[in-house]
Amino acid sequence: MPWLPRAPKTTRGRLAAIGGAVVALVVAAAALIYFVIFPTSSPKPFALASTTSAKPVGSVSVLAGSWTIASGSQAGYRVREKLAFLPALSDAVGRTSAITGSATLADSSGTLSVTAASFVIDVETLKSNEQLRDQHIRTIGLQSATYPKAGFVLSTPLKLPASALSGGVVAVAVTGVVTIHGTARRLTIPLQMRVSTSRIQAVGSITFPWGEFNMTAPSVGGFVSVTAVATMEFDLHLKRA
């Protein structure tokens, strides 16, 4: 039947045909695993809660005092994975609500200032959409089994703009010591905040190369790996202590 491909007549031809078939199978298997393992969507980065009832704060003194972590707070990581030579279609995201900490607000001559803040995240409780990923980060990359806590301590008082008293969104930058993987770094983190008499919300993130916190980018058998940078993101809600 003339339309059927002819079998190779030489040994070299047969080996080439077999090699081509193996490559095709590997590519097909990798593509199948890619679409099974990697999600095609991931949680969006944190954002301030939308509100239509933001009310102006009467005065700076109303907000002065101690505030502590409230329900709704979350923190976690965001990385882009790769399966062999195939990049994932979306980020791998792990999050936890196991956060403790507090902040102190003060009236500094009519200006609202955050004079102290300290937060600790239990990274052993981080959960993603893949149980295997959660197990691996206990021993590689973040190594949460060895370094179960991450944290932030304010090192420079943060003065909030007068517009913060309007109940709207303010963009600021906070400077403090970030500890991840047992390594401390003094960093400045951009934030978006909204302040009210009963609740404060702060959302932010930092992206860094793995080596900045003495971590090695995770790789599972050289087959599943991640890109050269990672992102830590958080959504903190505070209530009066």
19 has a pLDDT exceeding 80 = no
Looking at residue 136, what DSSP letter applies? H
- Give domain limits for the chain: 1-37, 41-240
* pLDDT score, position 4: 45
Distances (CA, A) of 46 to 7, 26, 73, 138: 58, 38, 10, 24
Rounded to two decimals, what is the model's pTM?
0.82
27 has a pLDDT exceeding 70 = no
At 39-98, the pLDDT tens digits run 557 899 999 987 756 678 878 999 999 999 999 999 999 999 887 666 677 899 999 999
Mean pLDDT across the stretch 17-40?
52
At 132-178, the pLDDT tens digits run 899 999 999 999 999 999 999 999 999 999 999 988 899 999 999 99
Torsion angles phi and psi, residue 162, rounded to 5:
-60, -30
Q: Name the average pLDDT for the chain.
A: 86
* pLDDT score, position 167: 85
* Half-sphere exposure in the Cβ direction for 161 (13 Å, CA): 13
CA torsion angle 154 157 162 166 (round to 10): 30
At 172-220, the pLDDT tens digits run 999 999 999 999 999 999 999 999 999 999 999 999 999 999 999 988 7
Q: Per residue in 30-41, is it b (16+ CB within 10 Å) or e — as a string?
A: eeeebeeebbee
Selection from 31, 11, 122, 152 nearest residue 83 by Cα: 31
* pLDDT score, position 18: 55
Determine the topology of domain 41-240 in CATH. Lipocalin (2.40.128)
Looking at residue 85, what DSSP letter applies? T
* pLDDT score, position 194: 94
